[in-house]
Amino acid sequence: MNRREETAKKIADELASNDIKVIASLPDDWISDLLRAIDNDDRFTHVPVNREESAVGLCSGAYMSGAGSAALMGASGFMTLIYAITKINYTYEIPILILVTLRGAFGDIHQSHLSNGLYMRPVMDAISLPHTIVDKPEDIRLIGQAYKHSRIFSRPTVVALTHGLLR
């Protein structure tokens, strides 16, 4: 097992240890190992979706049925969710854990993702969306803390996964 696969397994174990059963995801090359790990793990029901809003809807519905869930996506897709989060999750106080790639930050070699690095955190701050950054394997435990915070706060939380962690 290589380092990326080990990291993916640690993240999957953290999700499972917090009783997360449903994962809605969209593809992103940085999280391909994590998606594969989740898809092959019997502890999860993995639902690939075609739109980020579908992930929010699916995870919100899972919450209403009592199932723990998380949405997993790239930073660009997350930036399209602001209306869905503020309309659905803020209005009805529905918690959701959203794991995103922190594209455009240090370590990302793709200039096309620069705007994500510049705007993602200020956008989250603008709507008072709690978030944390996981940059190294020993910080993976923050995923569980963010999930629990979301449930206590009755609002979404975001965990941004960095290039240093995933690649």
Mean pLDDT by 10 residues, the chain (167 residues): 96 98 95 97 98 97 97 93 94 97 76 76 95 96 98 97 90
Global pTM value: 0.95
Chain centroid to Cα 104, Å, comes to 16
**Domains in the chain, CATH or no CATH each:** 3-166 (3.40.50.970)
Give, for 143, the enclosing helix (H) or strand (E).
helix 141-153
SS3 of the chain: helix, strand, coil, percent, to 5: 55, 20, 30
| pLDDT for the residue numbered 74 | 92
Phi, psi of 97 (to 5 degrees): -95, 125
Largest CA distance in the chain: 43
pLDDT of residue 91: 96
Sign, CA torsion 116/118/123/125: positive
Smallest CA-to-CA distance from 164 within 109, 88, 114 is with 109
